[in-house]
A = this chain, B = another copy of it.
Amino acid sequence: MKRYERFADEIAVLIRTGVLAPGEKVPSVRHASRTYGVSPSTVFQAYYLLEDRGLIQARARSGYFVREHARRPLHEPEQHVRPAQTTEVDVSELVFSVLDSLKDPDTVPFGSAFPSPELFPLPRLARSMAQSVREMTGQAIIADMTQGNPDLRRQIALRYMVSGVRLPLEELVISNGALEALNLCLQSVTAPGDLVAIESPAFYATLQVLERLKLKAVEIPVHPREGIDLEVLADSLEQLPIKACWFMSSLQNPLGASMSDEKKRGLYDLLCRHQVPLIEDDVYAELYYGVQPPRPVKSFDSEGLVMHCGSFSKCLAPGYRVGWVAGGRYAQRIARLKLMTTISPSVPAQAALADYLQHGGYDRHLRKLRHLLESQQASMLASAARHFPDETRVTRPAGGYFLWFEFPQRVDSLQLFRLALAQGISLAPGPIFSATRAFGHCARLNHGHPWDAQSEQAMATLGRILAAF
Interface residues of A (CB under 8 A from B): 92, 96, 99, 102-103, 105, 112, 114, 116-118, 120, 122-123, 125-126, 129-130, 133-134, 136-139, 141-147, 176-177, 179-180, 183, 187, 191-192, 205, 208-209, 212, 214, 318-322, 336-337, 339-349, 352
Contacts and interface: CB of A to CB of B under 8 A. Distances in A.
A209 B192 CA distance: 16
Contact of A319 (B120, B144, B191): B144
A438 to B, nearest CB: 21
A362 to B, nearest CB: 17
A103 B348 contact: no
Nearest to A318: B141
B129 A336 contact: no
B105 A139 contact: yes
Given A117-B142, A122-B136, A319 B344 contact: yes
B122 A126 contact: no
A113 to B, nearest CB: 10
Contacts of A346: 176, 319-322, 345-346, 348-349
A142 B319 contact: yes
A347 to B, nearest CB: 3
Contacts of A147: 103
Contact of A345 (B179, B214, B321, B347): B321
Given A319-B347, A348-B349, A99 B129 contact: no
B336 A321 contact: no
Contact of A146 (B99, B142, B143, B341): B99
24 contacts: A105-B143, A114-B142, A116-B138, A117-B142, A122-B136, A126-B133, A126-B136, A129-B348, A130-B130, A141-B318, A144-B319, A145-B319, A176-B343, A177-B342, A177-B343, A183-B340, A192-B192, A205-B340, A212-B340, A319-B346, A319-B348, A345-B346, A346-B346, A346-B349
Contact of A126 (B96, B134, B183): B134
Q: Report the copy number of this chain in the oligomer.
A: 2
A244 to B, nearest CB: 17
Contact of A342 (B125, B126, B176): B176
A346 B349 CA distance: 7
A116 B142 CA distance: 9
A29 B451 CA distance: 76
A360 to B, nearest CB: 13
Contacts of A349: 346, 348-349
B348 A320 contact: yes
A160 B130 CA distance: 30
Contacts of A347: 319-321
Nearest to A346: B346
A139 B318 CA distance: 11
B336 A96 contact: yes
Contacts of A212: 187, 337, 340-341
Nearest to A209: B340
A114 B191 CA distance: 32
A251 B457 CA distance: 59
Contact of A214 (B96, B192, B339): B192
B340 A321 contact: no
Given A125-B133, A130-B129, A130-B134, A342 B99 contact: no
A129 B133 contact: yes
Nearest to A175: B342
Contacts of A123: 134
A343 B130 contact: no
A344 B125 CA distance: 19
Given A342-B176, A346-B348, A122 B138 contact: yes
